[in-house]
Amino acid sequence: MRTFRHSPGKPDIAGFFDPRTFSVQYVVSDPETQCCAIIDPVLDFDEKSGATATHHADELLAYVAKQGFQVAWVLDTHPHADHFSAAQYLKQKTGAPTATGGCVTRVQALWKALYDWPDLPADGRQWDRLFSAGETFQIGEIEGRIMFSPGHTPASITYLIGDAAFVHDTLFQPDSGTARADFPGGDARQLWQSIQSILALPDDTRIFTGHDYMPDGREPQWESTVREQRQTNKHLVGSNEDAYVAMRNQRDSTLPMPKLILSALQVNIRGGALPEPEANGRRYLKIPLDALKGAAWD
pLDDT tens sequence across 77-120? 999 999 999 999 999 999 999 999 999 999 999 999 999 999 99
pLDDT attached to residue 294: 82
Ranges of residues in the chain whose predicted pLDDT is under 50 = none
Task: Classify domain 8-268 at the CATH topology level.
Answer: Metallo-beta-lactamase; Chain A (3.60.15)
User: What pLDDT score was predicted for residue 298?
Assistant: 85
Helix, strand, coil percentages for the chain (3-state, nearest 5) = 25, 25, 50
> 289: Cβ–Cβ under 8 A, 6 or more apart, which residues?
none
Backbone torsions φ then ψ of 6, nearest 5 degrees? -110, 130
Q: How far apart are CA 40 and CA 23, in angstroms?
A: 9
Domain residue spans in the chain?
8-268
pTM for the model:
0.97
Altogether, the residues listed in the chain come to a count of 298
18-48 as b/e: b if 16+ CB within 10 A: beebbbbbbbbbbeeeebbbbbbbbbbbeee
